Structure 1
Amino acid sequence: MSSPTSPEASPHPVRVLLVEDDDLMRGSFTVALGRYGYEMTAAADGLTGLELFRDEVFDLLILDVMLPGLDGIGLCRRVRESSLVPVLMMSARGDGLDVVAGLEAGADDYVVKPVDTYVLVARIRSLLRRATYAPAPAPSSGAPEGGVLVFGDLAVDTAGMVVSVGGEPVALTPTELKLLLEFAAHPGVVLERHTLLRNVWEYGWDGDSRVVDLCVQRLRRKLGRDRIETVRGFGYKLRR
């Protein structure tokens, strides 16, 4: 079986920090993901995970929600204070407040425990592709010249992957950036949630639309609340 991280296309092994307090799960995930070619570092509590994150460089973080000391939600918030590294949350309650809180804290996606290794690997692969995403030129825009799409005071440089509002750069996570690029490629067009789940999160099925709603909310906080319009019963669109 080939490595899901495509090591032949990567200049270094993909480094993953796993923070999970359950000894059995932590050990099994570390071994299983290691077999897929990931370089694993594991921690049993949030404070140790935060220390490792600050001391080392990781390509992706997997955080359990329920952790001793500093829980996964708090850890994700601390990470987002200084980094846009992809974050995948693990929750034992798929329909609980944990999911919403994790996504609001800045997580890119989540999985519900117990989770099969192949599902976890699929979510990791999707997150890593977003982190290295290079979009095709948008078919239409406010000003396509030089690869920069302009919508009022919002400018999206699709070549340099830089977003600015009023001339000031805006820091976006890989998922937020890919979502914005999806909107920017179709300005004024209503995009349904399941379309965004498929194109941005790479769900091959109708996944949890909360990941879309929460990511849109985060984009609105960073870009302006009126930038992305809700079309009730259908989805969202970027105002021209």
Structure 2
Amino acid sequence: MRLINSAGRTTLLVCLVIVTVGAACGPSSGDDPPTVDAITVQGEERYPMDTLAEARSFSSAWAVVEVKSETAGSVAGGGAQHGEGYASRSVELDVKSVVWKADSSVAIPDTINPMVTGYAVRDGNRIPMILEGAERMELGKEYLVGLIAEPEGITLASPRAVFSMTDDVVTASEEGHGRGPLADTLGGLNAEEAGQALADATPAVSDSVGSFDDRLEQYND
């Protein structure tokens, strides 16, 4: 299934491969199957987001946001009539501060409404899906996020450009991100320090290369 952002562009291809279920299972009794609390899936990103250099080259801005509300879509897929399939999810993000922008002309709205990882549906029950190496955005929590400017508007640069925050400090967890270079770099920094780190980073591709797709082509050469 493809996760489509609010600007109508594909940012992530989510493969229907369950990587971890047992670690997210609750207790069971008798012959009843265990309760599954979450399903971890693999996916491919549109742009790389593993290092600070990539974060700078493949995003338009980074901001601190709070999840104010979420909306789940109807069940899609061949088994929808039987309560099986996938339910999409969008979140309303309140932009609390912008810590870095690639270009001062980029206008970041006060509210952003991206599509994010949704739910697997089994027997009519919704089970949260988590992208491997990424954090699931949850209601009421704050995050440092990378944003990208598309012709249709501003949306998340990548599902993996999402880092939880507590008391203005990035708390990039091993559980949420593994021990990737970007998580290691941003973890423990406050919002201002994270913005400065992005400003000081050497870009993966020259800022003079215009579009993100052109940057990606040059980066892969």
**Shorter-normalised TM range:** under 0.3
| Bigger proportion of residues as strand | 2
* Higher RCO (C-alpha under 8 Å, 6+ residues apart): 2
Q: Normalized against structure 1, the TM-score is what?
A: 0.24
| Bigger proportion of residues as helix | 1
